[in-house]
Amino acid sequence: MTTATGEHITVLLGEAVQALVTAPEGRYVDATFGRGGHTRAILAELSPAGRVIAIDRDPQAVLSAREAPDLLADPRFTIEHASFSQMPATLAAHGIDRVHGVLLDLGVSSPQIDDPARGFSFRFDGPLDMRMDTTRGESAAEFLARADERHIAEVIRDYGEERFALQVAKALVARRESGRPVRTTGELSEVVAGTVRTREAGQNPATRTFQALRIFVNAELEELEQALIAALELLLPGGRLVVISFHSLEDRIVKTFIARESKTEFDRRAPFAAPKPHRLAALARVKPGYAETLANPRARSAVMRVAERTAEPFAPGSGA
């Protein structure tokens, strides 16, 4: 959310940092820098020996970090332009292979939403882009200009959970075939509004379609799955994984991953073999409090899940 002064409000700021930072001298990854709210709060908890490596796939977010005087002056801080699924390679370039904590704050930041040129919001008319990394990939308009009706419907249904997905896809293809392909957020909103006749009270008819296209264009769910695997491999024993989600598709992936990695696995084909130990322990599920949701309506849908990396078992013959 952006306030009247243009300030970005970081969701679950105190709760996330409290859950994440367990060692003041530790190394932490803010894998979704945004505008640095969580990063600055993490740095405030660290000793001079601590370190924060921030990552963001949005070039504008990286630029904002590199132009921030307080961050430039802090030797404990580093920012890199990368997607969070690329964490291992990004950290390896800095000589780091294990960390004490990883934070993922998913979704779209207020500066992205509030910039019409980015094409994320139906509240402003602008180019239908929706890419978080504007240096690569296909925009939402380009996808809609080439995809067939079936593919468009699948994207809107699967990523937006839109029950009128087929009707929206038909309308988009019909408009394209008439020589007027959708190129702006306003045009997309107009098509959806003329197709989706009912919607939850207070929700714009285009909400689910915009969500679906954004998730698809940025491969957000696939990126998240890869990032969770990468984070688990990077965490030291006792290290924390903190993930803040803003819709059910994301939270379901995080919940399933933590649950799967929190179970000890037995191989039924080899009943006498040692079980594969669990690698995570689920610690908490946190929702924003009343005061935060009142001050920041965007926080209403947020869910934070916290897990801890378990101790690694000694390898046979290690002498331990």
The pLDDT of residue 270 is: 59
- Quickly list DSSP for the chain: -B-TT-PBPPTTHHHHHHHH---TT-EEEES--TTSHHHHHHHHHS-TT-EEEEEES-HHHHHHHHT-HHHHT-TTEEEEE--GGGHHHHHHTTT---EEEEEEE-S--HHHHT-GGG---TTS--B----SSTTSS--HHHHHHH--HHHHHHHHHHHH--TTHHHHHHHHHHHHHTT----BHHHHHHHHHTT-----TT--TTHHHHHHHHHHHTTHHHHHHHHHHHHHHHEEEEEEEEEEESSHHHHHHHHHHHHHHTS-B--TTSTTSPPB---EEEEEEE---HHHHHH-GGGGG-EEEEEEEPPPPPPTTS--
- Per-residue model confidence (pLDDT) at position 278: 85
| Type of residue found at 106 | L
Instruction: Give the pLDDT confidence score for residue 272 in this predicted structure.
Output: 55
* pLDDT recorded at residue 275: 61
Give 35's contacts (C-beta < 8 A, 6+ positions apart).
Answer: 8, 10, 61, 64, 109, 110, 111
Dihedral sign computed on CA atoms, order 46, 51, 57, 62: positive
What tens-digit pLDDT sequence spans the chain (320 residues)? 333 333 567 899 999 999 999 999 999 999 999 999 999 999 999 999 999 999 999 999 999 999 999 999 999 999 999 999 999 999 999 999 999 999 999 978 888 888 999 999 998 899 999 999 999 999 999 999 999 999 999 999 999 999 999 999 999 999 999 999 999 999 999 999 999 977 677 788 999 999 999 999 999 999 999 999 999 999 999 999 999 999 999 999 999 999 999 987 655 665 655 566 789 999 999 999 999 999 988 889 999 999 999 986 544 433 33
Phi-psi region of 296 (alpha: psi -120 to 50; beta: other; left: phi over 0): beta
pLDDT value of position 276: 66
pTM of the model: 0.90
In the prediction, which pLDDT does 260 show? 95
Predicted pLDDT at 268: 61
Sign of CA dihedral 103, 132, 82, 56: negative
The amino acid at 150:
R
For residue 13, give both structure tokens: 């700021």
Q: What is the pLDDT of residue 197?
A: 76
Domains, the chain, with CATH or none: 13-110+220-309 (3.40.50.150), 136-217 (1.10.150.170)
